[in-house]
Amino acid sequence: MSKVLGNFILFKFKLCFISSSPMRYFAFLVSLLITLSLGVALSIQFGSVPPLGKLLDPNQGFWQNSYSEDHKRDKSIRLVGLKAPVKVQYDEHLIPHIFAENEEDLYKVQGYVTAKHRLWQMEFQTMAAAGRISEIVGSIALDVDKLARRKGLPFSAENAMSYIKESDPESYLLVQSYTDGVNQYISELSYSELPLEYKILNYRPEPWSIYKSFLLLKYMADMLVGDADLEFTNLRIILGETLLNELYPDFPEDNDPVIEAGKKWDFTALEVVKPDGLNYPDEKIIVSTLPQPEDGVGSNNWAVAPKKTKNGKALIANDPHLGLNLPSLWYAMQLSTPSYKVKGATLPGALGIISGFNESIAWGVTNATRDTRDWYKVQFKNEERTEYLYNDRWIKSNLRIEAIRVKGQATFYDTVVYTHHGPVVFDKNFRGERQDVNFALKWTAHMESNEQKTFLMLNRGKNHQDYLDALDHYTSPAQNFVFASKEGDIAMKVQGRFPLKWEGQGKFLMDANDPRFEWKGYIPFDQNPATLNPARGFVSSANQHSVSEDYPYYVFDKSFEHYRNRRLNDRLREMDNLTLDDMKALQFDSYHLHAAEALPVMISLLEASITSTDSAKVNPYLEMLSGWNFNTFPNQQEPVLFQIWWDNLYRSIWSFLDQDNVPVIYPNKYQTVKLLNEDPEGNIFGKSGKPTLKSAKDHVTGSFQSMLEKIEKWESENGNEEYTWAAFKNTSINHLVPNFESFSRKGIYTGGGSGILNATGSRHGASWRYVAEMGDQVTAFGIYPGGQSGNPGSKYYDNFIKLWANGEYVNFNFRAQEDTQGVIFSTEFSN
């Protein structure tokens, strides 16, 4: 009841935001009538009631959040510590263009401006990384906070901050300047100017810190990393190693890797030998494993050499696929000094441009899915866990007491045990209630790092060597960095701190006592996979395997992509005279390669089992699917039929792996299609134990029948309303607070889907798209699914969404300080 009532209230808030001034007063009267209900709903949901008088006060309450940023224009601002005046020009999309005389001033103003438009988001995301959400919403978030701390995210940020302070005082000083800018904005905030979320949840922003900027980067590392050690440990017991290796091969047959196959490796690899006689912990694991990046989280990037482009200039494109949220993960900016100007997407809370271009070079990132997180089973000497066994000796543990403040309740204290491997995430006090476990997490993100310096250097970079030098500071999360330059160079490097492992190491839970399970070091950065100006005329990545099998180091991950990358590379191989319009079209390409390869096999198996009595019912749907062009446009019905059929089939084949809530992962879609096509009578199809399911044909037929039942139910419930792909997929961009549904956008009319270049699923998709031509004057376009403002009452909160959903872009060319065309307002900063 409270959720429904709360959403109704939030709807009333939104009503006043989008309406004219008279309607705002009407909404105010409505709000007065529901004041009591508001207090009850918020008390139940968030643990305390906000001061309703202030919240509803027309002079300082939520009414003030109904104005867009261009309503209150600060023409001049005093910013303490500036060395010279700084000018900020906002274009018609509220994109700020900052013109400063030096980098300290530049990043100080970047911090101030970002906080002005995205403060609540910045703080909320870093509090999530720090395990502090319970301070805001109460005990409902306690397990989330415990997990963040047990994974070691605060510990990681502390390590990074200490390392950078000692090793890179220049970058540390710039982060301090950014922090000072954020904090001056916070210090000037009155209650009326607070972002709405603070008012509803009844708390105030605390000062920003250097530590929080590093926490943000660890938040991103955590978002993009996954592992399956515990799941593979269970699968080895269920399937045996032989069948496990058949169903989960390290490389697919159609491997089209990030670094082109046939690349000659011009280095001498470090030797690493698998020890003999290893003993793995041999037990089924029933803990609730860590959340993994969801299906659809990935990215595309590529660059095209001048010889394949119409204008003879290098082209570049990048579209990171992440969770779709409001406020948007990204915030667009131009940053300018007398030495350089750079434009693209920033992460609120971090310095510089993360994905974008300057006047000489351009870059972008995709997730390089590599296993950089391993699990060790620890044996402790006593209940207090003050010592653990390593190399048959007792080693002292480090105990870290995590004090988690809980809104409206007493502080919760959680003891996290740290071994030399890393923190013990799962134990009797967390997710180990059903099993006596002590599992320690070893993760490259726990180590010292300086990712911030990478982006500072890229922002200033002039050429390919500058790009390589910048990447030498980047460790986690592993990324595929694409590059293009005005000089015509294109490049790709798979960059991260990659453990030096023997074949198979880290695939299963390891014994923390046995030193032979230790990582043997790290692959040197100059031996990470990379390519420059390959003969094929393009570089690309779409989260597929980094390399072919001839790369001399062990490469493994459970989540390499198998379809987007092949579609992308096939198109780039066959296309010439490429333009920016071609690049945009490719980012929005909705061809479903998985369906194109799976559906003919499924139809063939189905047709072999159709009887004359079935045909009248089956044929209309079968004819529709047989005539499908494999696009996934929003108004099509065929993608719905295929997706329901495929999902049913996939579960039907692999559900035998689900045993007693033991965590496992299913073989990927590529291997499943391969089995259907090459071994339809194989033993694997009879493992369900059901007498009606003995072959691939049985599974295909049964899952098709289930699809018919679901479609018939839809038709009976919705009458003449068609089951279109857009309606079925229901792409939604949700507010970061799940219950704030009125601040979310549901049912966005757009195509694409998981495993498709236009990877727009239900809750994931292209979080930022940009394309650029690296001419004498860079030409660029960009878009993301949201808006520049974090204020739900602003017209700039979601004004990009429709353009993004339609595959459209806004002009992202550089703006000169003297160019005032399209400037909606300017602000002068001075000391």
393 vs 375: CA distance, rounded Å: 20
Query: 598 to each of 72, 311, 490, 559, 670, how far by Cα in Å?
Result: 56, 39, 34, 19, 9
* Each residue's pLDDT tens digit, 105-146: 999 999 999 999 999 999 999 999 999 999 999 999 999 999
66, 171, 213, 299: the catalytic one is 299
- Contact assessment for residue 540 and residue 302, using Cβ atoms and an 8 Å cutoff: yes
Q: Which amino acid is at 220?
A: M
CB atoms within 10 A of CB 544: 26
- Contact assessment for residue 27 and residue 15, using Cβ atoms and an 8 Å cutoff: yes
570 is in an annotated binding site: no
Bridge partner list, 322: 765
The H or E element spanning position 401 is strand 398-404
Tokens 């597929």 -> residue: 544
Give the pLDDT of residue 41.
Answer: 53
Spans in the chain with pLDDT lower than 50: 1-40, 42-43
205 vs 189: CA distance, rounded Å: 9
Give the pLDDT of residue 45.
Answer: 54
Q: Where are the domains of the chain?
A: 1-66, 74-592+631-636+724-831, 593-630+637-723
* Each residue's pLDDT tens digit, 678-737: 999 999 999 988 999 999 999 999 999 999 999 989 888 887 678 999 999 999 999 999
Give the pLDDT of residue 48.
Answer: 58
Give the pLDDT of residue 111.
Answer: 98
Q: Which two tokens stand for residue 134?
A: 């319970």
CB atoms within 10 A of CB 253: 8
CA 413 to the chain's CA centroid: 30
CA 746 to the chain's CA centroid: 19
510 vs 514: CA distance, rounded Å: 8
- Residue 68 appears among annotated catalytic residues: no
217, burial (CB in 10 Å: exposed 0-12, middle 13-18, buried 19+): buried
CB-based burial, 426-445: b 16+ in 10 Å, e otherwise: bbeebbbeeeebbbbbbbbb
CA 576 to the chain's CA centroid: 32
- Contact assessment for residue 298 and residue 367, using Cβ atoms and an 8 Å cutoff: yes
- Contact assessment for residue 414 and residue 400, using Cβ atoms and an 8 Å cutoff: no
587 vs 109: CA distance, rounded Å: 33
Q: Considering only CA atoms, which of 810, 726, 799, 738 is closest in space to residue 765?
A: 726
CB atoms within 10 A of CB 577: 10
Q: Indicate the class that CATH gives domain 74-592+631-636+724-831.
A: alpha beta
- Contact assessment for residue 364 and residue 127, using Cβ atoms and an 8 Å cutoff: no
Q: What is the pTM of this model?
A: 0.94
39 vs 31: CA distance, rounded Å: 11
374 is in an annotated binding site: yes
